Amino acid sequence: MSKRFDIGKLVRENIRQLVPYASARDEFSGTASVFLDANENPFNAPLNRYPDPKQQHLKEEIARLKGLDPACLFLGNGSDEGIDLLIRVLCEPGRDHLITVDPTYGMYGVCAAVNGVERRSVQLREDFSLDPEAVIGEADSRTRIIFLCSPNNPTSNSLDRRAMLRIIDAADCVVVVDEAYVDFSGEPGLLSMVREKRNLVVLQTFSKAWGMAGVRLGMLFADPELIGYLTAVKYPYNVNALTLDQVQRSLREPAAMKGWVDRILRQRDLLAGALASLPFVRRVYPSDANFLLVRMEDPRGVYRYLTAQGIIVRDRSSVPLCEGCLRITVGTENENRLLMNALKKFA
């Protein structure tokens, strides 16, 4: 399927016709020292200047790190911007739809609703594995996007690579694989397939392993033609100067990120073992992410008790397939100890 894939055919007519906004800096190329083109304040350098709307330097550095062409990369205000833009570019409200595989990250559905786009839901199997034929069976000629999340939030498992590739190869639409948690996983992810599979979009983020949720930077990797449409629709200066600068500096110290991931993975194992030994815990699901899904007796009572102790976890107990479950992020050694001390008292 991928070889004959025509991205232009999936894009909304108004987006195909769009003449994007050209900022002052877009129109100028070359070197200059006097900038009187963008109605900026000449004082308070360097923050007085608009950031590079193309984020060229940062894109080149990220692309080098990931082994892909910068033309395959879109940078957004978190992965959430990429999710929203994909829907705005590909789905005609009231006509087209997208598919999510549930339970999963809530923003796919929220962005669909905001854009007036129908969301069709396919359930994961009881063991949280992906049923590729069920997803393919739900798709039709009006399906524009299938969202897969691997490792999946909130179930914490990676989806089977062959099952994801089966969907990508069979689908006549874009397949998004959200890899927000891939750095915590033993699985390599699908980034290396982006060049080969024209309908594959991979999302990654600086919010998790890189420890920069506060700067809001998400990466979207896809075919350059699709990147071009997303770039035409984005706000001109969607990534701010402070973010560009901070991420560029952090990229020069990848050892810090690797160190954090190692510590989190060690803590994940210790915490999983400690939680499993609590008498009211029924199951700690194996995790490929930086959080644990934990099935227990009286999850709401535990949630309320922890909140009263100043410890916040995520109550997923009313989510289909996650009944009885809390989702617990792996914290520092000290945070995990405080959590366990509190839970032992609850027991």
User: Where does this chain bind ligand PMP (CB under 6 A)?
Assistant: 78-80, 105, 149, 153, 178, 180, 205, 207, 213, 218
Q: Which is nearer to ligand PMP, 180 or 306 (CB)?
A: 180
Q: Which is nearer to ligand PMP, 73 or 149 (CB)?
A: 149
Q: Which is nearer to ligand PMP, 100 or 317 (CB)?
A: 100
Shortest distance in whole angstroms from residue 216 CB to ligand PMP: 7
Strands (E), 278-321: 281-284, 291-296, 314-315
Report d(CA 67, CA 222) in Å as an integer: 13
Shortest distance in whole angstroms from residue 218 CB to ligand PMP: 4
- DSSP category for residue 143: E
Q: Which is nearer to ligand PMP, 80 or 96 (CB)?
A: 80
Q: Which is nearer to ligand PMP, 79 or 185 (CB)?
A: 79
Shortest distance in whole angstroms from residue 329 CB to ligand PMP: 10
- Nearest residue to ligand PMP, using CB? 78
Shortest distance in whole angstroms from residue 104 CB to ligand PMP: 7
| Burial of 163: CB neighbours in 10 Å, binned 0-12, 13-18, 19+ | middle
Shortest distance in whole angstroms from residue 209 CB to ligand PMP: 11
From residue 212, how far is each of 48, 218, 274, 327, 337 by CA, in Å? 24, 10, 28, 21, 24
- DSSP category for residue 119: E
Scanning the chain, the segments in alpha helix (DSSP H) are 7-10, 13-16, 24-27, 56-66, 79-90, 107-114, 132-138, 161-170, 224-233, 241-251, 254-276, 299-308, 333-346
Q: Which is nearer to ligand PMP, 76 or 132 (CB)?
A: 76
Q: Which is nearer to ligand PMP, 105 or 128 (CB)?
A: 105
Shortest distance in whole angstroms from residue 19 CB to ligand PMP: 29
Shortest distance in whole angstroms from residue 39 CB to ligand PMP: 31
Shortest distance in whole angstroms from residue 29 CB to ligand PMP: 31
- DSSP category for residue 50: P
Q: Which is nearer to ligand PMP, 328 or 343 (CB)?
A: 328
Shortest distance in whole angstroms from residue 282 CB to ligand PMP: 24
Unique residue bearing structure tokens 């639409």: 173
Report d(CA 193, CA 197) in Å as an integer: 6
Q: Which is nearer to ligand PMP, 207 or 336 (CB)?
A: 207
The Cα diameter of the chain in Å comes to: 70
Residue type, 5: F
From residue 315, how far is each of 151, 218, 274, 300, 303 by CA, in Å? 19, 26, 19, 7, 7
Q: Are the C-beta atoms of residues 127 and 80 closer than 8 Å to each other?
A: no
Number of C-alpha atoms within 13 angstroms, CB side, residue 82? 27
